[in-house]
Amino acid sequence: MMITGEVSLVGGGQQTQAGTQEFLYQENEKQNYLLLLCNQRTLLHINQKQYYMQPFTFLLMPFGGKPLSLETQGITFYRYLHFQCDEILINELLRHGFSPAEPYPMARPLDIECIWRMLFPVAQTGNISQELEESAMKLLLCLLMMPSDGAATRAAEIPHYDRLTSLRYRIYQYPAQSWYIQDICDEMGISRTYFHRIYSAAFGTTCTQDVIASRIARSRTLLEITDSPVSLIAQQSGFETDVYFLRQFKRHVGMTPTAYRRVFRQENPEAGSS
């Protein structure tokens, strides 16, 4: 999927405490949108309308020519990007079956996390070229739209959706746990073929790919905050062998774990290790 049109960031951040946030409408010829990324269950009230966000879902909310008021209660964690775009870009998303103001699952949380890490400081400081900012935003939107494949799938259309989202959340919370597909199917009382079909329909990816992505995410964190040997990090992240870990890490991140740690420490000299 390719996205054309113009897009630019207004601001962004993340919220970990319940409360109310106000997002001001920016007046010009472009349309204002608020992108919300939720990695855990979050109850949102936007302009007094309620949205129950499952783990690893997103919401693209149009401003409609007025400010947006976002309120949360209880356990809260969401990330947000306020951006502006032209009608060409929005029409492109609509042609792929996407409807604004409706929650959708994220197909590739690990890749989305990588783009977020780049856009988050940009949204705070604006310290990036406009061309790179626009490219990163378009890539993020492409990743979010991937599950649609021409017709976006809504949560209500997926059998066992609540159980699947609970499973997916646990996979990313506990990546080192043994996640055997047959055990999962036995617990749910369904066949492997049916499980693969509904999991892919719900999230645009397979359960096995999510398990690998969750373990890569955990290993990256351990490489960033500890000086533990790569072999120990592989074990703590749930990989059965060092060779398999090295192959998957390089495939997903584009470099070896040792190189990743070195680059991260060079770019973040203040980052501590334990």
Class of domain 7-148: mainly beta
Structure tokens at 141: 């939107």
> Percent of the chain having pLDDT more than 70?
92
Query: Can you give the pLDDT at residue 33?
Result: 95
Q: What is the pLDDT of residues 62-93, one digit of tens each?
A: 998 899 999 998 878 899 999 999 989 888 88
What distance, in Å, lies between the first and last C-alpha atoms of the chain?
Answer: 42
Q: E strands within the chain? A: 7-15, 19-23, 31-38, 42-46, 49-53, 57-62, 68-72, 78-85, 104-105
Q: What is the pLDDT of residues 41-66, one digit of tens each?
A: 888 999 889 998 888 889 999 998 89
Structure tokens at 7: 């897009």
CATH architecture of the region 158-267: Orthogonal Bundle (1.10)
**What is the C-alpha to C-alpha distance for residues 218 and 174, in angstroms, rounded to an integer?**
9
Do the domains 158-267 and 7-148 match in fold? no
Query: Can you give the pLDDT at residue 52?
Result: 86
Structure tokens at 33: 């949108």
Q: Looking at this protein, which amino acid is placed at residue 159? A: P
Query: Can you give the pLDDT at residue 271?
Result: 64
* In the chain, where the domains are located: 7-148, 158-267
| Strands, sheet with 31-38, edge to edge from the N-terminal-most edge strand | 7-15, 78-85, 31-38, 57-62, 104-105
Task: Check whether 204 has a pLDDT greater than 90.
Answer: no
Q: What is the pLDDT of residues 120-169, one digit of tens each?
A: 776 556 566 778 888 889 999 888 877 644 344 555 577 888 899 889 99
Closest CA to 223 of 265, 254, 251: 265
Residue 258 pLDDT level (bands cut at 50, 70, 90): very high
**What is the C-alpha to C-alpha distance for residues 200 and 195, in angstroms, rounded to an integer?**
8
The number of C-alpha atoms within 13 Å of 102 and in the hemisphere containing its C-beta is: 11
Number of other CB atoms surrounding residue 14 within 10 Å: 13
Q: E strands within 86-141? A: 104-105
Q: pTM here? A: 0.75
